[in-house]
Structure 1
Amino acid sequence: MTGLPLSAYRADDQIAVKEIKARNALIVSCMHTAGYAAFTGDGLQPAQPPDNLTALPAGPWGYIGPGPANAQGFHPPRRPAPRAPDASAGYGGEAYDAARVDCDRQAAEKIGSPPPKGADLVGQLFDESTKATAQDARVLAARKDWASCMATAGFEAAVPEELPKTYEAAPEITQAELAAARADADCTTGTSRLAAVYFAVLDGYQRQLVDRNAEALTAQKEAVRAQDAKLTRLITGEGKG
């Protein structure tokens, strides 16, 4: 998804990670100012990409990549639990809790966000492009070939986005799930060429939408760039005051 035309007009996972880093740096600095010099950020959100659909490379385009299929099936990658605050460092109590709440507030105010109007437009255009893609005759034909490939492999599945639902609610990954995911990955990139067709068609629809909304999208891109630069300054210590 990150290579699609509309992705250039919204904050990506790298910016999301920078926002977490900036927030954590601001909170640590604020807590030190509040008198908690031993506070190092234990218990704060880890600076890693957010959990979203890109964490599971399966969707209406099929399943991309035999590696994830073999390792995780249809389950998203497991993330380590955040480290709990160290009670021995003097954490806890009403004063500490009040300081944390206030530092969280101050960090949020300093970070801010790009104007929501532009982000809302990008979201609407993404929805429009995916709906058009789902109804495109080229994609429908590729999905039909994908279903035939899956049936040959022993798995009845009408549409690829429904297949993960059969397995993802299970607490553990089973061999049956891994086999289905591997078949999905093979059929996605095999004779159906579903992924190639889907993303080529989606790319085309998005380019049309970008052309029709060029002025508003250019302003949104500049807002995202400005926010990215601001986060960099906050992480390096500039603009904390």
Structure 2
Amino acid sequence: MCLALAAALLGCSSGSGPGTGGAPAGPSETAVTSDGPAAKPQVTFADRLPIARYSYTADEAAVIESAQQVLTKRCLRTFGITYKPVKPEDDTSPSADRRYGLSSASEAARLGYHPDIGPLPAGPDLPQDALRVFYGNRGAEPGTAEKVVYKGREVPSNGCFGHSVAQLAKKYDAPGAAEVARVISTQSYKDSLTDPSVMDAFRNWSACMRSSGFRYTTPLEPANNKEFQGKDISAKEKETARADVRCKENTDLLDIWFKAESALQKAEIDKNSKTLQELLTAHRQKTEAARRIVAEG
């Protein structure tokens, strides 16, 4: 189960580079579009949970990413490289996260259990030798990579982009507090699986699925069905996915699960309020610093 919220809590959303070639977004991060006038609004859970208050907002992440690009541009300029950051495309489509499995009827009808990855972001428009300055030895094992030298000057080991990300992180990130928030986010999900109300809702969902001809004990099982993990999306996968969402709606499973996990998170947030306040302060300071960098250009 992909927990995108945990990444946002750690500030990972503001540390991803353009076209870095990393793994595509996980299920909780997929962007989907409505499939017609009858489609319900996409359901999001991760950004409504109590711990989400301690993650960056979309606007904060955007300004931090912009600041990283400004710092990267400055670094590249010291090597005589002109760089024009790629402007990110606005994402106006609503997203359905999969923290609690498939939740969108339109998504089930179009994609079954397959994620809608969407187009990968464009990489930096730079010559090949300049890309080594941009990325450095990213991905190489520590202590094994050769130094990158460009026109007689040594390049930061993580490249201008990685160096720029690290600059902001070193000054403003609060890794200890972020780890507390991450643990709350991941542990609350695990604990919710054994909450009596959620387990009862699972049983009701399973009975509903059986009435439609599908035998699954929990809603976590269908997405892990190897039959549905190939490249193609079969009619059986879509049919199962539609029944899955319909049974979630008929049993109020999503609402029950969300309320149970929210209660678990609130209890842990109360225990760690001082540490989490430090995280909010760090986020505010980093965002303010990012805005100054962007303003300076």
TM-score by length of 2: 0.66
Q: 1:173 — aligned with what? A: 233
Q: 1:70 — aligned with what? A: 109
Kept in 2, the 8 Å contact 1:17–1:47? The answer is: no
Establish whether residue 237 from structure 1 lines up as the match of residue 282 from structure 2.
no
Tell me the alpha carbon deviations over residues 210-238 of structure 1, each in whole angstroms, 9 at most, x when there is no partner: 11221111112211222222233333336
Kept in 2, the 8 Å contact 1:189–1:195? The answer is: yes
Kept in 1, the 8 Å contact 2:68–2:164? The answer is: yes
Larger relative contact order (CA 8 Å, sep ≥ 6)? 1
Alignment map for 1:45-60 (pairs within 5 Å): 57-59=97-99
Q: 2:278 — aligned with what? A: 219
Kept in 2, the 8 Å contact 1:146–1:187? The answer is: yes
Alpha-carbon separation, structure 2, partners of 1:211 and 1:84: 42
Kept in 2, the 8 Å contact 1:147–1:158? The answer is: yes
Alpha-carbon separation, structure 2, partners of 1:72 and 1:14: 29
Q: 2:84 — aligned with what? A: 40
Alpha-carbon separation, structure 2, partners of 1:172 and 1:233: 48
Establish whether residue 92 from structure 1 lines up as the match of residue 92 from structure 2.
no
The count of aligned residue pairs is: 224
The one-letter code matched in structure 2 to 1:73 is G
Name the CA shift for 1:67/1:225 in 2 (closer, same or farther; >3 Å): farther
Name the CA shift for 1:18/1:72 in 2 (closer, same or farther; >3 Å): farther
Establish whether residue 8 from structure 1 lines up as the match of residue 53 from structure 2.
yes
Tell me the alpha carbon deviations over residues 34-89 of structure 1, each in whole angstroms, 9 at most, x when there is no partner: 3223x3246x9x6789xxxxx76334x342221222222211112213435557xx
2:163 to 106, 117, 123: 106
1:26 to 49, 67, 71: 71
Q: 1:153 — aligned with what? A: 212
1:186 to 238, 246, 259: 246
What secondary structure does 1:36 align onto? coil
Alpha-carbon separation, structure 2, partners of 1:226 and 1:76: 35
Shift of residue 124 of structure 1?
1.6
TM-score by length of 1: 0.80
The one-letter code matched in structure 2 to 1:228 is T
Alpha-carbon separation, structure 1, partners of 2:255 and 2:115: 23
Kept in 1, the 8 Å contact 2:108–2:238? The answer is: yes
Q: Which runs of 5+ in 1 are unaligned?
A: 50-54
Alpha-carbon separation, structure 1, partners of 2:90 and 2:166: 21
The one-letter code matched in structure 2 to 1:111 is L
Alpha-carbon separation, structure 1, partners of 2:57 and 2:271: 22
What secondary structure does 1:135 align onto? coil
1:209 to 258, 268, 272: 268
The one-letter code matched in structure 2 to 1:170 is G
Establish whether residue 131 from structure 1 lines up as the match of residue 190 from structure 2.
yes
Over the matched positions of the two proteins, sequence identity in percent amounts to: 22
What secondary structure does 2:193 align onto? helix
Kept in 1, the 8 Å contact 2:109–2:241? The answer is: yes
The one-letter code matched in structure 2 to 1:40 is K
Kept in 2, the 8 Å contact 1:149–1:187? The answer is: yes
Farther off after superposition, 206-215 or 144-153: 206-215
What secondary structure does 2:291 align onto? helix
RMSD: 2.8
